[in-house]
Structures are given as C-alpha cells and as structure tokens.
Structure 1
Amino acid sequence: MRSSPRYRVIRMLASAAPGLLAAALVFMIVEALLPNLVLIAMGRTVGDIPAALAPGLGSPAGHRMLLQLVVAGALYAVSLLRGPAEDALNAMVQGRMSVVSRRRLVEAVSAPAGIAHLEDPAVLDRLSSAQGELLNHEPSGAAMTLIGRAGDRLSGVLACAVLATFHWWLGLGVLAMWLVLRRPLRELVRSRVGTFRRATEALRRSWYFGGLAWRPAPAKEVRVFGLGDWLVGNHRSLYAEAMRPSWTEIERLNRRIALLSAAVLAAYATSTATLGWAAYHHTITLGALVVMLTMLPASMQAGSVNATDFALESMLSSVPDLDALTAEPTAEPATGDAPVAEPPRGDITFEAVSFRYPGTGHDVLGGLDLVLEAGRSTAVVGVNGAGKTTLVTLLARLRDPTAGRILVDGVPLADLPARAWQRQVAVVYQDFTRFPLTARENVALDLLGEPVDQETLMRVARRAGAADLMAGLRDGWETVLSAQYEGGQDLSGGQWQRVALARALYAVERGARILVLDEPTAQLDVRAEARFYDRFLEITGGVTSVVISHRFSTVRRADRIAVLDGGRVTELGDHEELVRAGGTYAEMFELQVSRFGPKEERR
C-alpha cells in the first residue's frame, strides 16, 4: 500500500499542502454528488409535468412542478461552477506539487559530490520521466487527477445505488459488472503506458533532436548547415521507433477491448430493456423512468476507462522514477571523517592512479604518479585524449579513481569530506558555464552563503582582465549576462572566459587553495592572451595551481610541467629542463614555436 504510486502522490500532497488536500477531498465529494442530484431533480421535474398540465401551474401539482424546476435549476447552476472551481483548485495543487517534486529532484541530483550519476543513461531516463518530458503529462498533476477520477468513480457507484432503488439486482448487477471489468481495463491502461516507459531512451533522443531546432546554443549551426530537415527526420524516425511497440500493443489488445465492450453493451442493453419493459407495462412512473434512464450512462463512471485514465497512469508511472532518484544518488558515499587542512600544508600526490569510464574497455589513466607541490604551479600537457581533464575531475573529487589513490598531506582524498574538499578547489573549466544571471552573481555565485564583497569583486575582475568589461556593461555588475532577458546583454567567448576566470579567483579569495585552469586562454584574443601571460605569476601566486593548455606560451611559465602520454606521466620538469631533454615536450614545443612563435622563443 505504502509503495503504491497512488498512495505516494496523496501522501506527498498531504505533506506539502494539507489544506489543499482537504479542499480537493471536499471537491471529490461534490463531484460525486452534484451531477447525480441534478439528474434526479431534472427527472422528477419531468415526471411532474403530466400532473401539472391539466389543472395548470396555479394548482398544487403545478406548484410542485415549479418547485422541482427551481431546485433542478439551482443545482444545475451550482454544477456550472464546478469547472472554474476545478480549474482554480487544480492550478493551485499542480503548482504546489510541481514545486515540491522539482525541489526533490534538484536536491537528489545535487546530493552526490560526483557527476557520474548525471552521465548514467538509466538515471537520465528516470530524470526525464520524473519531469514528465517524454509523455507530455506533468507528474505534478497526478494528485488532482487521481482525486478527480475517484470522484467520478464515486459518482458512478452512487448512480448504481439509484438504479438499485428500482430493482436491487439492476443496480447491483451494473456495479458488479464494472467491478469485474475494472481489473482487466486497468491492465489494458498499464500495459499501454508500460510500452511508453520501456521506450524512454528512444523518446529522450527523439525530443533531443526536436529541441535542437529551438535551443539558442545550436541555432546558428542548425541554420548555417541547413540541418532543419535532418533534425525533423531524426525526430520523426526515433519517435516512430519509440512508439512502434505501443502501436503493436494496441493491435494486440484490440480483441480484448472488443470482448469487454461487448460485455458492457450487453449489460446496458439488458438494463435499458428492463426499463422499457417496465414502462410498457406501466410499472414505473415517468419521473422514475427519466431518472433511471439518466442514471444508466452516469453509472458508467463506476469503471469505464477514458483518456484521463491513460494520462493519470502516465503521471503515476513517473512516481517510482522520482522515488528512485531521491533514494539512489544519495546512497553514493561522498564524505569521510578526516578533517580538511585549510589550506593544504603539503603536497597532493597521485599514487598509481587509474581511471576507466563506465561502459568502456580501456583506462584513460593507468598507474599515474604525480606530485602537485603545495603553493607551486604545475602544468599538464599532452595530446587530446591523454587524460588531462580526467585528472582534474579526480582532483576535484567529481569522480573517484578505479585504482590507486590520491593523498592530500598524506591523507587519502577518499577519506576527506567531499563537499569540504571541493570548497578548497577553484576550477576554470574549458567548457565553463555561462549562467544567465547578473555579472555579480556569475562571479560571486553566493559562495558559502556569505555576503558579496564588492572590493573583492573589483580586485578579482582586475586580475582576470575583466574590470573594463564590467565597467562597460549597461548596468554594471547588475547586468544580466544573457540577451534572452529584458535588459540583458550577451558577451563574446573571450569576455565570458574572463568572467569564468574571475569566478575562480573570487573562490580563491574566499578560501579555495587549489586553482585549476583548463585551457584558460582558449577564447582570448592575442592582446588579452598576452596580458594573461604577464599576469600568470600573479594569478597563480600563493595557491597550488594546475594549468592545462595546448599553448606553450602559457605552459612554460609554470614551475613544473608534466607530460601525459598513454595515461601516465612520461616527463616531468620545468620548461628549460624538458627542452634540453629533447623528449616529447621538446618536440611539441619546437613544432608549435616553429609555426606560430618568433625564433627567439625557441631558446
């Protein structure tokens, strides 16, 4: 019972908004009673018409008919308010449930210190399902839809009870039929929705191709390369692939649906014939006949299936995914008991570290040994795929080694609290995030929840070469860095890179002691890159820094340079030592300088 998705959504609503749950339950009762009361009142009004015709409306019979008409009209008028009331209540419940479910999702996916779960196809499928992205049915609407359908079911049961006042076996027989058919009908619904759930990956890929057509990031390449038809074609073919099992399931179920429909038709034909026989033999009054005839279709609510049931089942199918997401990632060990030295007093040592990405058959890093000396800069160079960025993710504890260990002041990194350690690391990633927030928020990011220090902001902006940029923004530090918002302003790639560098330097000012620069000048123009070189020692001074770059004009300024090849450090030393050694580093440096640098830089 407690694991039932129906129970879970009601429990979630009860926890999030008990007042709304109470209002929804009252609405359910009204939803069950009011339609039947309207039909009964209308039927009785029709039944009083013959008695009022002869003596006229001024007679007692006429007064009784008018009274019945007023009651029926009043009930009908009240019933017209159900729609707006339901819409308002549904909006409030769905809004509240949306906030609660999205908050749970954000907390769940943010709980692990690492990022491996965000690259797991099973987790991504569950995440898409939990957000209702695939079947176009928001899970937040499940609670109100469930309560509404419960009201419909209760309304159908009450209609059967009214039928039983004419012949007990009539009402009981119709109700029994629906109770018997309810199970196979629910199985039909679940089977159909289950085919959608099993096609989650194909649907996710289909909607990805569809989304490329309107997302700003790929918009330029989509249009320049004329990819519109290609995107539509891929979206259509993947959607067809995902839906094909569902269409096959429908064909398979058509015979069962026909048999069930025949049973329903037979039951209602028998009921109608019974009422017709009674009317023919004058054993039922006109008013009772009208009431019973209107109760027959009303009784179908006791167990019939319509599009709302499919929508509800789609919403409920997301609940286990939501529960799984909130349970599984948090189970990942992310903290240890050892204290984090602030700042690290000694070196950071990689001992025989290996790492293999899940689902691959080879190690990106294999037996890597490297010492990052405290307070000094270490550059890491190597060909694409050598494992440079993977090394950074291990250092930042976004992933854990598959073999070997990383030591911080002699303490295994795995024994340190992951979140506390990550606050010691500031990284400028090659694919840094461009937050559509103000310039102030993009740099400060409310680190540790502390007030933003304007003096520190200005200092890191100057060190990152972004001071003039901030001064030139429309609203200064309060400018939203996105043209998609009113009053916002977008930046060039080089300008964004300065903002990202300022973000990392602000983190250093607020306590981080390890600075990682992954291709820090990749998007800077020649002049900005030259200024960065001039400030390199200032930027990296006083912290343990790691620099990853293909540009040797940046790398050569580091205290030590490590060459990665085949997942291991094959050369280690400063620039002059490695050039004299005549190995891989010297070869790469000579090649780059001969093409792009002045001859005097070869020394």
Structure 2
Amino acid sequence: MFSLPPSLLSTIFDTPQCSDYSDDPPGHTTTSKHSSLFDIWSSSRVIAAEHGDLLLTPGGQRPMTTRNISLAIHVSERCIPHIFSLLWSLHPLRVMLMLSLDIFRGLLPACRGYSQAMIINELQAVISSGGFSFARLCRLIATDVLRMAVESLIDSLANRNADIVQSSARFIMEYRQMEQRLRMDVPTLENPHIRDLFQESELFVRSFSGMSSFGLLSPLDLFRVLALISELASHAVMLWSLTSSGTHVWLLLFSVISTIFPLLLSPWTRNRDLGEDTHDVKEAHATAKQNRMRGLAHSDIHRPEIVLFGLGPWILQSWAKARRLTLGLEQNRLGEDEWPYGSLFSQLNLTGAIDALQNIPILIALQASSNSLGSFSLYRSSVQSFFFTGRQLAQTLRMGFQGIFLMGAFCTAMEVQPQLQPESPTATIKYRNTTRKGMKIELRNVSYTYPGNHTPALKDVSLVLEAGETLAIVGYNGSGKSTLAKILLRLVDYHAGRILINDLDLCHHDPTDFHTHVTAVLQGFSKFDSSFKENVGVGYVPEAGSDDAVEKAVELAGAEHILYSLPNGVETMLDSGVAGQSSSSSSAPSSPNLRGEFGPIQGCLRHQRYGLSGGEWQRIAISRAFMRANRPEVDLIVLDEPTSSLDPHAQNHVFDTVEEISRSPTTGKRIKTVVFITHRLSTARRADKIAMMEHGAMTEFGTHQELLAKGGSYASLYQASV
C-alpha cells in the first residue's frame, strides 16, 4: 500500500466541507521545510514573485533559479524515498539487477575504446616493421568480437529486465492515478488548481512510458545517471593512464579547455532566466491571450455571438498581436533586460574552429616516436566521449530537475481528499434509517455559489420533507432547481446553512455510503458508447451483467419497445453521438465510434453502432435509475426533468411507476422519499409538497391547494400552464 509520512498528511488542502471555499490562485509562498507539499508545488509555478498571480501552465518548465532549486530539494526530501520504496516493492531483485547492469554498462565504452586501440597498435606495428603477426592480430580481433558479443548479450538482458520493471512501474503508477482520480468529487475537480495538480501528476505517470515518448524523465530513467557517472569515471581513468608525462598533461588540459570553451560562452548567448525576466512575464500573458483567442475562433458554441456581434476582426487582431510577441516579432532591438553581447557571439560558428584546435594535441604528441597511434586514438576518443557523456549527464539532470516537480504533483495528488468527504474519520457517520419510511430531509438556510461566480445559485433555502413524502420543485429556468437537486444528492457542496438527513448532519455522511441509498435521473445524464445492457446496468453495478435485472428496469421505465427494436437486443452497441457524430432519430446504424466513456469496446469492430433519439436516451436514463430504485436500501429517488423529452402517456407511466416503487407492495405505505423537478405543473400536483424557486430562493412552499390559495408566483405559473 503506497503511503506517505504523517508530515505529508498536513499538505492536503484544509478545504472546509459545507462552507465557503476559494478558488483564487495561490500566490508567491515563502517555503520552508515545514511548508506543505502543495504550497511548495504551487510556489514553483509562480513565474515571478512580483507577478504572483501569473502561473506556469501545467507541465511548464521551471527555471533553474536558486529559489526553485531550494524548492526541488524540499520536494525530493519528501517524495523520493517513498516513490523509490514503491518501485522497489514491485521487483526488488530486478531493480537491483537493473541498477547493477546500468553501472556495468557505463564501463563498456572505455573497454570498447581500449580493445579497438589494441587492434590499431597491431596494425601500426605491421606497417612500421614490415613484419606481420597474423596469429596475434586474429587473437585481438577475436577478443574484440567476443567483447561485442558479451556487450550485446548484456544489453539484451538489461533491456529485457528494464522493460519488465518499467511496465510494472507504469501499471502501478497509472493504477494509483486512476484510483485517486475516481475518488474525487465534483467540487474538488471544479477547483482549477486541483485540475492543474492532477494534470502534472498525469505527466509524471506518463513519464513511465519512456523518456523518448514525451520528453519526460521518470525516476527509473534516473538510473541512467549512474550509468553516465560510471562512464565518465571510466573515461577519466583511461585519460589519466594516458597522461604519464607532463607534456601529456598539458595536452590533456588543452583538449579539456577547448572542449568546454563553448559552454563558457553560453551565458553570453542567452537571455536571463524566465523567473527573473519581465519580458517573459509579458510573453506568458501573451501566450494565455493567444490561446484564448484561438479557442474563440475554433469554438462552435460561441459562433453565434461571434457572428452576431461582429467579433471576428477583434479576435483576429488580438490573436495576431499576442502571437507576434510569442514568436519574438515584437521584441525591442536592444531591450534593457537583454545581454548586449548575445547577438555578437551568436553569429560566430565556433564548432569547426574548436574541432580543429582539438587536433593540435594529437599532432604534437605523435612527434614522439615512443607513442603509438592506438594510444592517441584512444586518447582522442576518450576526451570526446568524456565531454559527450558530460553533456548527456547535464541534460539528464536538467530533465530530472523538471521531473522533481511533477513527482511532487503526483505525491500531493495522491493525498488529496475529496471535498465532500468528512474532515475527520471519527466524525464520519454511516447512513441510518430505523423507521424504513423513506428519508427525512431538512434544509436550514442553505446557500451555494458556483466557483468563479459572485451571484449565489441558492440563497437561504429552508424546508422540511418528512420521510416518505414527495416533493416537486418548480420554477423558471435558472432558478436553482437542478442545483438544489445536486446538493441533495451530495454531488456538490453547500457553502452556508445545514442539511439534516434523518436528523443527522449531511456533512458527516460518507458520500460513497450515502450514494448507495439514493437513485436519480439527472438532467444532464450520461450517454455511453457501449452496449444497451451496460448503459442501463451501470445504475446498479452488482447486477449490471444480469439480463433479467436489466430487462426488469427497462420494463419499469416503459422502454421495452426500444429494446425490441435493436438487432442484438441488450448486447446492441449504442452510439452516444459524441466525438462529432450526431445521434439519429431512429434506431438506424451509424458509423463505428471506438471512443467513449468506457474506452475501446470489445467486439465493436463486429457490430454496427445504433443511434437513439433524445427521448429514447432519456428512457435509458430512467431505466438506469430504476435498476436500484426498488431495492430496500434506497430511501430517496431524485428525478431532474426525467420526462422532458417524453410524450404525456410516457410521462404518466414513469410517474405511476415511481409512485408504485415508493410504496410497500404489502402494506401500501410510503417507504421512499421522492424529489422531482418539473416544468409541467400538472405533474407537480402529484406531489405532497411543492417548492417554488425564483432567482435561487424558495419563495413558496406548501401543497398544491395551499399555493393556489395564496395566489402568488406558483398560482400565476399554474394558471398560465393550463
């Protein structure tokens, strides 16, 4: 079981449940070893301290500033031991073998160079002496062939072992990521910083697919650092053995200086770091604006307003200005924050000159008759390999530096608690209902505001619904009806007030446990690119594979005619109409669509997909709710406009079924509480109580006759509908 130390438990955001929370972006945070991991990760995303509201996009490259290096150290101290503990627990022997082979493989390039130098020396001796030792040359060649065979065998063994470790690590990391993602509730994922956190966590998980795939570096790839260090050490020993005299030492120093000279010029050929350059702050703003304008230009949703208000030229000009800045076309010729010598050195092609200079030591050394061609060939290749490996090591460390923050995002994401989960396990209560008469619901001044909005969606809503009663929620569009339903279903949180379920505070209920006692038809119900049986069966997963259970739910919803019209019955694959495909209005075959909520579907290449009309999909959603509606543990049925696409006869059938399910088959007494939202006030008359919603507030509450007698908004709306 993957776990982090108790100190990490304090890194999770103390988001109070059932109360106000903020989605403001985190600004510059002063970090210390006692700072939360989330604060450290958030602080690393701040582009500049004076621009605390400007954050890197998820996956953005952190500049290697002193501040970020300090943050990376804090993240490493908290996360690396636990990540490697998890990886070690998968295949300890294979991980040890992978580590040993990587170190050993680092020694092979030096051995290769030495073997080839010996062959060169033998050929030089043949040419210079005129003699020829065929046996010795054959032995050297055979030795080199054997070396290559052993090296190939080791590479094959190492790669096979690394693939097994890599695949196992990838699976467990993907599993943990998906497991945690599925635990999250709607309010948690509405927070933009939580979304960014999970996006960077996903990048960390993707890094286990291999560095070449995404340009990322996983902890397993960091084993390459050991191989590179081993290779550097072997080349260093080889070079030291070749520089026995003072002349050779000076030649070695010349080669070293000529090799690293271009690196010394790098500060003069680049601008200052991102985090300290105000020009990059402007570029970040321009990038964000460029993406917004591009989104508007490609959006079908906003197309009517773009055409209506003539926004095309404004969008194009705004995008062009931002794009020119991001491409460097709007930069000053010589800004005050630019290095004045960069343009000078950037015009010089030093590569050829450096390569020529590095040949001088070989020419001088070859003048000594005591030196062999093979030794200087080995000397030359070792120098080049030493610095080539050094550059690889530097690049790997730079990538590893970025990977540290992605690892920090993963560790933080793994400890995020759903916002609706009670804060303390000791405060969590199980759902209880001793009366078995349905669910009693009491709201006391409940208010809710959607993230990013200032106008409350619900304002001081209070009502009491006794167990077994039926409540109809009516009102105009945008009055808060669906929001109230989501709060009752514990899908979103409320920011003020209290909700009591069977006289116990809803905040203390475990949402997962609470959801087993409710069923619902949501206004925005899901359509899955899957079989008819799966679309219905997800309403009660334990019986999702039962044809009898599915057909019973379909019968309760009055959707038998849909099932009978499908060519393969409950196994017919349905087309949700997403991914650019529109559903047909009849059960006609549609083109195959392999993408959906369930991912690739087995057998989808053998079956045509069938599109359904809006009313037919609504019947499936109702069937889905009825999969569990008549189960004894379900005490609440919530229906949000469940019959908006159905004809009056179908509508009456659905509500008659709900009425039947909500009563005991033996005594006829109410055993389930029902809450439904409707625009059809003739249907609202079925309810025991009616709540009239206006602008987020409940303006009237009572029976149908009581509200008619008041002559208020409900009476006016009812008279207009009949």
Offset, 1:190: 13
Aligned to 1:596: none
Once the two structures are TM-superposed, the CA of residue 307 in structure 1 deviates from its matched residue by 6.6
RMSD: 5.0
Partner residue of 1:14 out of 64, 88, 108: 88
Q: Which residue of 1 aligns with 2:432?
A: 341
Shift of 1:55: 7.2
How big is the shift at 1:12? 4.0
Asked if 1:537 is matched to 2:659, the reply is: yes
Size of the aligned set, in residue pairs, is 574
Q: Gapped runs of 5+ residues in structure 2?
A: 1-72, 576-591, 595-603, 664-670
CA 1:326–1:346 in structure 2 vs 1: closer, same or farther (change >3 Å)?
closer
State the alpha-carbon separation in 2 of the partners of residues 201 and 324 from structure 1: 30
Asked if the contact 1:381–1:561 (Cα under 8 Å) also holds between the matched residues in 2, the reply is: yes
Pair 1:328 & 2:416 matched:
yes
Counterpart for residue 25 of structure 1: 99
Q: 1:346 to 1:460 in 2, by over 3 A?
A: closer
**1:297 is the counterpart of 2:384:** yes
What amino acid maps onto 1:289 in structure 2? Answer: F
Q: Which residue pairs with 2:135 in the alignment? A: 63
Change (3 A) 1:80 1:284: same
Q: Deviation digits for residues 197-251 of structure 1, max 9, x if unmatched?
A: x9799789959978998xxxx99999xx99xx99x98999899599679x99998
3-state SS, counterpart of residue 547 of structure 1: strand
How far the C-alpha of 1:13 sits from its partner, in A, is: 2.6
Q: 1:160 aligned to 2:289?
A: no
Whole-angstrom CA distance in 2 between matches of 1:156 and 1:257: 33
Q: 1:468 to 1:27 in 2, by over 3 A?
A: farther
The 3-state SS of whatever aligns with 2:366 is helix
Which of 445, 459, 469 is equivalent to 2:562? 469
Residue identity matched to 2:182: S
Letter in 1 for 2:692: V
Instruction: Tell me how far apart the structure 2 counterparts of residues 80 and 325 of structure 1 sit (CA, whole Å).
Output: 41
Specify the alignment match of 2:116 in structure 1: 42
Counterpart of 1:498? 619
Aligned ranges 1:475-490 → 2 under 5 Å: 475-482=568-575, 483-485=592-594, 486=604, 487=607, 489-490=609-610
Q: Residue 539 of structure 2 contacts residue 625 of structure 2 at CA under 8 Å; is this kept in 1? A: no
What residue identity is the alignment partner of 1:294? S
Separation in structure 1 between the aligned mates of residue 322 and residue 95 of structure 2, nearest angstrom: 37
Q: Choose the corresponding residue for 1:379, options 451, 457, 472.
A: 472
Counterpart residue identity of residue 130, structure 1: S
Q: Deviations over 1:109-130 (max 9, x none)?
A: 3334x42111111111122222
Note if 1:564 corresponds to 2:693. yes
Give me the whole-angstrom Cα distance separating, in 2, the residues matched to 1:35 and 1:211: 54
Going from structure 1 to structure 2, the CA distance change for 1:475 and 1:150 (only over 3 Å counts) comes to farther
| CA spacing shift, 1:446–1:407, aligned 2, 3 Å | closer
Unaligned stretches of 5+ residues in structure 1:
594-601
2: CA distance, partners of 1:3 / 1:297: 35
Residues 287 and 323 of structure 2 are in contact (CA less than 8 Å); yes or no, is this contact kept in structure 1? no
Conservation of the 8 A alpha-carbon contact between 2:481 and 2:677: yes
Q: After superposition, where does 1:279-294 map in structure 2 within 5 Å?
A: 279-294=366-381
**Residues 242 and 573 from structure 1, CA distance in 2 versus in 1: closer, same or farther, beyond 3 angstroms?**
farther
Counterpart residue type for residue 524 of structure 1:
L
Match of 2:23 in 1: none
Does the 8 A contact of 1:16 with 1:97 survive in 2?
yes
Q: Which range moved further: 423-432 or 280-289?
A: 280-289
**CA distance in structure 1 between the partners assigned to 2:403 and 2:686 by the alignment:** 57
> What's the CA shift for 1:562?
0.5
Contact 1:139 1:318 in 2 (8 A): no
Structure 2 counterpart of 1:558, which letter? A
Aligned equivalent of 1:146? 222
Q: Answer with 533-542 or 546-555: which moved more.
A: 533-542
Q: Could you tell me which amino acid in structure 1 is paired with residue 116 of structure 2?
A: M
CA distance in 1, matches of 2:677, 2:123: 92
1:466-501 CA-to-partner distances (Å, cap 9, x unmatched) read 233234434333334344241263442322222221
Deviation at 1:65, TM superposition (A): 2.4
Cα 1:547/1:395, change in 2 over 3 Å: same
Aligned to 2:600: none
SS of 1:304 mapped into structure 2: helix
CA distance in 2 between counterparts of 1:146 and 1:429 reads 48
Single out whichever of 66-75 and 131-140 deviates more from structure 2: 131-140
Partner AA of 2:227 in structure 1? G
Q: Which residue is equivalent to 2:675?
A: 546
Q: Secondary structure at the residue paired with 1:282?
A: coil
TM-score normalised per structure 2: 0.66
> 5 Å matches for 1:67-466?
67-76=139-148, 91-112=163-184, 114-132=185-203, 138=214, 142-167=218-243, 255=342, 273-305=360-392, 312-329=400-417, 333-334=421-422, 336-342=427-433, 343=436, 347-445=440-538, 447=540, 449=542, 453-466=546-559
Residue type of the alignment partner of 1:99: F
CA contact (8 A) 2:530 2:573 kept: yes
Query: What residue identity is the alignment partner of 2:465?
Result: L
Preserved contact between residue 363 and residue 567 of structure 1 (Cα < 8 Å): yes
Q: Give the one of 624, 629, 638 matched to 1:508.
A: 629
Distance change >3 Å, CA 331–CA 393, structure 1 → 2:
closer
**Post-superposition offset of 1:375:** 1.5
Closer, same or farther in 2 for the Cα pair 1:64/1:417, shift >3 Å?
same
Please state which structure has a larger fraction of its residues in helix: 1
CA drift at 1:380? 0.8
Q: Could you say which residue in structure 1 is the equivalent of 2:711? A: 582
**Higher alpha-carbon deviation: 424-433 or 198-207:** 198-207
CA apart distance, 1:407: 0.8
**Equivalent pairs: percent with the same residue?**
23
Residues 542-590 of structure 1 show CA distances to partners (whole Å, capped at 9, x for unaligned) of 4211111223343333222111123221112333443343321222233
How far has the Cα of 1:155 moved from its partner? Answer: 1.4
Letter in 1 for 2:406: S
Tell me, yes or no, if the aligned pair for 1:130 and 1:139 is still in contact at 8 Å: no
Matched to 2:183, the amino acid is: A
CA drift of 1:312 comes to 5.0
The one of 519, 523, 542 aligned to 2:645: 523
Asked whether the equivalents of residues 437 and 672 of structure 2 are also in contact (C-alpha less than 8 Å), the reply is no
Letter in 2 for 1:126: L
How far has the Cα of 1:372 moved from its partner? Answer: 2.4
Q: SS at 2:237's partner residue?
A: helix
Contact 1:159 1:295 in 2 (8 A): yes
Deviates more, 1:127-136 or 1:548-557: 127-136
Tell me if the contact between 1:98 and 1:140 (Cα under 8 Å) persists in the aligned partners.
no
Whether the 8 Å CA contact 2:437–2:468 is kept in 1: the answer is no
**CA contact 2:190–2:451 (8 Å) conserved in 1:** no
Cα distance 1:531–1:103, how it changes in 2: closer, same or farther (>3 A)? Answer: same
Stretch moving more, 33-42 or 287-296: 33-42
